């Protein structure tokens, strides 16, 4: 969730999928910040010049919005944007085993981080260290949700 907008408690909301139509129908969402998740009712949703604005019930000032900024907005799966081929919900990627092409285990995906140049996956390696890998086709091969695995194409990226 983004910064406050105006003086009445509206916040900028960024859709990771880039789609907003499905969000305009929401009545509530969960916000996750600092490991805590809480449900918030939605009083109003507006689309202004391509920016999605949300007003949560009981949040009536920019100061209250600031306390929620940078929270992760969680939407029920049945209300999330529909997926296209080779698209995944971030939540489905967490916990996948990261494997070499030969099937050797390298670690587990623990998080997905939005970066300026695109998304990064956090891989907790079998030795306990955490490495960040760009979530791009050059580095991540086949993702198989049924098998619970993602193929890392270049092991050197973990170093």
What's the CATH code of the domain at 115?
2.30.30.240
Among residues 47, 79, 111, the one where a domain terminates is: 79
Same-domain check for residues 106 and 140: yes
Q: Given this model, what pLDDT does residue 150 score?
A: 96
Among residues 79, 98, 128, the one where a domain terminates is: 79
Same-domain check for residues 71 and 108: no
- Phi, psi (rounded to 5 degrees) for 155: -65, -25
Q: Given this model, what pLDDT does residue 24 score?
A: 79
Q: Is the pTM of this model over 0.75?
A: no
Q: Is residue 13 part of a domain?
A: yes
Q: Given this model, what pLDDT does residue 35 score?
A: 85
Q: How many domains, the chain?
A: 2
Q: Is residue 122 part of a domain?
A: yes
Q: Given this model, what pLDDT does residue 2 score?
A: 81
Among residues 27, 55, 79, the one where a domain terminates is: 79
What parts of the chain have a pLDDT lower than 50?
none
Distance from C-alpha of 82 to C-alpha of 36, rounded to nearest angstrom = 26
Q: Is residue 101 part of a domain?
A: yes
Q: Given this model, what pLDDT does residue 97 score?
A: 96
Q: Is residue 150 part of a domain?
A: yes
Q: Given this model, what pLDDT does residue 90 score?
A: 84
Give per-residue pLDDT as tens, 125-151. 989 999 999 999 999 999 999 999 999
What CATH number should be reported for the domain holding residue 29? 2.40.30.60
Show the domain range for 95.
Answer: 90-158
Same-domain check for residues 68 and 102: no
Distance from C-alpha of 51 to C-alpha of 55, rounded to nearest angstrom = 13
Same-domain check for residues 47 and 96: no
- Phi, psi (rounded to 5 degrees) for 40: -130, 130
Mapping DSSP onto H, E and C, the string for the chain reads: CCCEECCCCEEEECCCCCCCCCHHHCCEEEEEECCEEEEEEEEEEEEECCEEEEEECCCCCHHHHHHHCCCEEECCHHHCCCCCCCCCCHHHHCCCEEECCCCCEEEEEEEEEEECCEEEEEEEECCCCEEEEECCCCCEEEEECCCCEEEECCHHHHC
């Amino acid at each position: 969730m983004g910064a406050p907008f105006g003086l009445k408690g509206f916040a900028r909301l960024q859709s990771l999928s880039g789609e907003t139509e499905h969000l305009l129908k929401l009545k509530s969402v969960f916000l996750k910040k600092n490991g805590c998740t809480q449900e918030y009712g939605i009083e109003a949703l507006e689309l202004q010049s391509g920016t999605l604005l949300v007003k949560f019930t009981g949040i009536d000032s920019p100061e209250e919005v600031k306390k929620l900024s940078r929270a992760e907005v969680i939407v029920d799966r049945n209300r999330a944007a529909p997926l296209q081929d080779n698209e995944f919900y971030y939540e489905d990627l967490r916990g996948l085993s990261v494997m070499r092409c030969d099937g050797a285990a390298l670690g587990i995906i623990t998080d997905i981080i939005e970066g300026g140049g695109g998304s990064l996956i956090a891989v907790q390696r079998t030795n306990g260290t955490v490495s960040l890998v760009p979530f791009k086709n050059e580095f991540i091969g086949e993702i198989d949700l049924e098998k619970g695995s993602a193929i890392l194409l270049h092991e050197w990226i973990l170093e």
